[in-house]
Amino acid sequence: MADAVTKKADQDSLQDVVARYPEVPRLIIIKTDVQRRGVFYTERALGVLDETLHQVTGTHIFGTRDGQIEARPESLLLRDGTSIITTPTPLDQNPYLVDLIDGKLWLVDGGEPIEAVDYWPAPDFYALTSSSGIPMKNIVSARPQRLNIFPYRYCTFWNNGKGCTFCDIVCQLKKGKEELQIPARLNPVEVGEVVGEALREPGRFSAVFLTSGSITSGREPFDDEVDYYIEILGEVGKNFRTKKYPSQIIGTAFNERQLERLYKETGLMSYTADIEVLNEDLFNRHCPGKAEWIGYREWKRRLVAAVDIFGPGRVNTGLVAGIELAKPYGFTSEDVALKRVLEEAEELASQGVGTVFIVWSPRPDTLLGDQKNASLDYYIRLAKGLHDLRVKYRLPIGYDDYRHCGNHPDSDLSRLLPY
Amino acid sequence: MPKLNAEILHLLDQSTTTRVVATADEFGQPYAVASPFLHAGPEGELVHLELLEKSATNRNLLRSLWFDKKISVTLTGADGTSYVIQGKPVKAEISGPVFRHHYQQVRALLGDADLAAVWLIEPEEFVNETYTVQKQEEEERFPFSVHLDRLAVETVKR
């Protein structure tokens, strides 16, 4: 029966899912489906891409679904301010088209215009170079309202071949280094310089975000990673007149001493440690490096411990949603997967830890690159389920919402919440 | 989208005009607030500047955009001219040149203020709610609604 439901969900059209969930905004369902299927930019659409007006692909820490590094639109904005963070996808994988119709950009599916979109606007600092001559956009990148800092583009879990199965960070590092001349390790002073320049643009940015690959080294494991974050945040913080400023890191699950340092020694206001998949067996399989160095239960325990330091509603974890269904070890039914994931997410929510998801997009340079992600129906039920937990446990998500991230359909739904 | 008439555009041009945006929450409860920056956009839409991300109005406007619900705008001029405009929010600008322009405008006027979104509202219908206009219409269409003392003579000739 469950398999039958999954098969049916696989064949659903966008319209079927929109009709099935009238309480979920059509725009969020569209966003989710575009993330699920990816996009293909037509020549006409690329013809209006203008680097002086629009953001073109920047310092991606992860790769694209078509494996190419080219100057293409960074991503898309819907008319409600929702970002669609997606990557170019080969036509044979049935992506949405982005096309130019009557002078405006549209998402097109099956020949039908679905929804108007805009390219992300280019920030002023993208046109500048740092004092050492590096294009500033290769040091700090942007989302519509967020500054992205990827301090270290390598993950030491790969040293013994234990990188995550869905991740292409190391492959992308090589491409970025060779094709874009992006530094693998950023100079903290230079990061501070670029952030200072970015802040000159009125009304553009509302958050500073950092993430890098895990760095296992140090007196205690990950001390070097924490030291590096503190150094970067210190330089970034020089640009602000307040000690704390809206900011988030996605880091490794640090211990209490490391978390205390991050909170007390920097302006950091929120903390995320992505557990990637909410199931111990699947975590061990898909995240062998995280399993080896920290372990599933300890990862969760550290998330909960972080709430005492950063405060309720300031700590969360992220899922690469869909890998829980990847073959051969994943759940064989979407219904079962959803139930199990939400049960574990609730256990975290009840202790003050939020959960958000990104739609897994299988990329060619990953171990799971030849697999398919989950159905649209599944992702919408997951978004609703995580949003409902946020309501039940009154967990704010202001640091990881459409404005501060834009990559989570579940936190898009939380825009209507008064907290 | 119907074109706003000259009287409405004139009202929107006057700094003395009172501008109110009325929205509804998920239970249909109305919520009306002053919208001092409300103006006409280049394509005939109404432009509401929402300063606060978590305000009831911002959330209600988003709900209206998401679920295709109408909102209402009331304009009242110093001379009593008044219009009620019903429409739908169709776009929230949160980044880019339009947003930046209004962000700077708001801060120039209010000092240390923020801007959450620039809402574009497409008018769908409007009603001239100017009292003298409505009074005349009411008296013509509903002659039984009048209180008799208004029709009475001051002195009865016997």
pLDDT over 60 at A226, yes or no: yes
Interface test with A, best of B66, B93, B114 (most A CBs within 10 A): B66
Looking at beta carbons, which residues of chain B come within 8 Å of A77? 94-95
pLDDT over 80 at A182, yes or no: no
Q: Do B65 and A80 touch (CB under 8 A)?
A: yes
Return the pLDDT at B147: 95
- The rounded mean pLDDT for chain A is 93
What is the ipTM metric for this complex?
0.93
CA distance A364 to chain B (A): 32
Cα nearest neighbour of B65 on chain A: A80
List pLDDT tens digits, range A360-396: 999 888 999 999 999 999 999 999 999 999 999 999 9
Return the pLDDT at A6: 52
Q: Do A79 and B54 touch (CB under 8 A)?
A: no
Dihedrals phi, psi of B84, to nearest 5 degrees: -110, 125
CA distance A418 to chain B (A): 6
**B42 touching A, CB under 8 A?**
no
Residue A93: CB atoms within 10 Å: 14
Handedness of CA A260, A311, A157, A284 (dihedral sign): positive
Q: Are A315 and A271 in contact (CB under 8 A)?
A: yes
CA distance B141 to chain A (A): 41
Return the pLDDT at A2: 46
At B24, which helix (H) or strand (E)?
Answer: strand B18-24
Give the whole-angstrom CA distance, residue A166 versus residue A214.
15
Pull the structure tokens for residue B56: 């009831």
Handedness of CA A178, A90, A63, A245 (dihedral sign): positive
Q: Percent of chain A scored above 90 by pLDDT?
A: 85
Return the pLDDT at B49: 98
Looking at beta carbons, which residues of chain B come within 8 Å of A403? 53, 94
Looking at beta carbons, which residues of chain A come within 8 Å of B96? 118, 121, 144
Q: Do B91 and A418 touch (CB under 8 A)?
A: no
Q: Are A161 and A172 in contact (CB under 8 A)?
A: no
Q: Which of A26, A81, A202 sits opposite B94 (nearest CB)?
A: A81
Q: Do B91 and A80 touch (CB under 8 A)?
A: yes
Q: Which of A204, A403, A415 sits opposite B100 (nearest CB)?
A: A204
List pLDDT tens digits, range A119-139: 999 999 999 999 999 999 989
Residue contacts between A and B (CB atoms, under 8 Å)? 57
Return the pLDDT at A1: 44
CA distance A395 to chain B (A): 15
Dihedrals phi, psi of A395, to nearest 5 degrees: -100, 110
Domains of chain B, each with CATH number or no CATH? 6-130 (2.30.110.10)
Q: Percent of chain A scored above 70 by pLDDT?
A: 95
Length of chain A counted residue by residue = 419
CA distance B3 to chain A (A): 21
Output the furthest CA–CA distance in chain A (Å, rounded): 63
pLDDT over 90 at A66, yes or no: no
Handedness of CA B107, B110, B112, B114 (dihedral sign): negative
pLDDT over 50 at B103, yes or no: yes
pLDDT over 90 at A202, yes or no: yes
Cα nearest neighbour of B97 on chain A: A121
Q: Are B101 and B152 in contact (CB under 8 A)?
A: no
pLDDT over 50 at A158, yes or no: yes
pLDDT over 70 at A185, yes or no: yes
Give the whole-angstrom CA distance, residue B48 versus residue B46.
7
pLDDT over 80 at A413, yes or no: yes
Q: Do B103 and A418 touch (CB under 8 A)?
A: no
Q: Do B93 and A81 touch (CB under 8 A)?
A: yes
Return the pLDDT at A47: 96
Cα nearest neighbour of B25 on chain A: A416
Q: Are A251 and A273 in contact (CB under 8 A)?
A: yes
Radius of gyration over every alpha carbon of chain B, rounded to an integer in angstroms: 19
List pLDDT tens digits, range B108-151: 999 999 999 999 999 999 999 999 999 999 999 999 999 999 99
List pLDDT tens digits, range A388-406: 999 999 999 999 999 999 9
Return the pLDDT at A8: 61
- The residue among A403 and A183 whose pLDDT is bigger is A403
List pLDDT tens digits, range A9-42: 667 899 999 999 999 999 999 999 999 999 999 9
Give the whole-angstrom CA distance, residue A38 versus residue A68.
14
CA distance A203 to chain B (A): 6
Chain B residues 44-103 with CB within 8 Å of chain A: 53-54, 56, 59, 62-63, 65-67, 90-97, 99-100, 103
List pLDDT tens digits, range B36-82: 999 999 999 999 999 999 999 999 999 999 999 999 999 999 999 99
Q: Which of A79, A203, A403 sits opposite B103 (nearest CB)?
A: A203
Q: Which of B56, B92, B104 sits opposite A80 (nearest CB)?
A: B92
Return the pLDDT at A169: 84
Identity of the residue numbered A79: R
Interface test with B, best of A24, A242, A416 (most B CBs within 10 A): A416
Looking at beta carbons, which residues of chain B come within 8 Å of A418? 54, 56, 59
Helices (H), B25-96: 56-67
Return the pLDDT at A58: 64
